[in-house]
Amino acid sequence: MNIYERMHAGEWVNRLTDTEYSTTAKAEMQRSLDVCFRLNTTPPSSPEIRDLLDELFEGRLPASSVLTPPMEIDRAKCLTVGENVFINHGFTCMASGGVTIEDGVMIGPEAALITANHDFTDLNRLQFKPIVVKKGAWIGARAIILPGITVGEGAVVASGAVVTHDVPPKTIVGGNPAQFIKNVE
């Protein structure tokens, strides 16, 4: 298994002693952060924004999807974005464990998707778990989605929610930790 397959499988990785992590994954992190920096310092109305997004996603971002700078994406190779997705400004995505954002998803300002966590007994060890945001879901402003979470189709995550458990389809959750509020009608 290569480093990305290992990370997406949830394997523990020692960031200091794992050679493949410290070379391959570190290089992708630097590439992604460098492109994000250029995106974040380009005027928002500039046509160069789309070119930089294409560079960041290596041509994989559908033309129908929009990401609004500024943003921080640590490993764009690990992030898949579907058709007709809108991601507002201030997006933070630690995508090492794999993030899939399906068609028609909307993500509010300053939302964060985090796929990594440290081992509490050895902070140099990292574990990654994927995040999946299913078709038509809506993530509110400043919501945080933690490692290993699936947000169900048509679900709504309220602004400021901290999602620690899967969100069933067609439900609304909110709070810290996020709790069921009601079904989407």
Active centre residues (catalytic): 118
Residue type, 177: P
Which structure tokens are listed for 39? Answer: 């995106």
SS3 83: coil
Tokens 């998707």 sit on residue: 113
Q: Are 53 and 94 in contact (CB under 8 A)?
A: no
Give the helix ranges, DSSP H, for 73-139: none
Q: Cis link prior to 44 (omega < 30° from 0)?
A: no
SS3 21: helix
Residue type, 124: N
Q: Are 170 and 152 in contact (CB under 8 A)?
A: yes
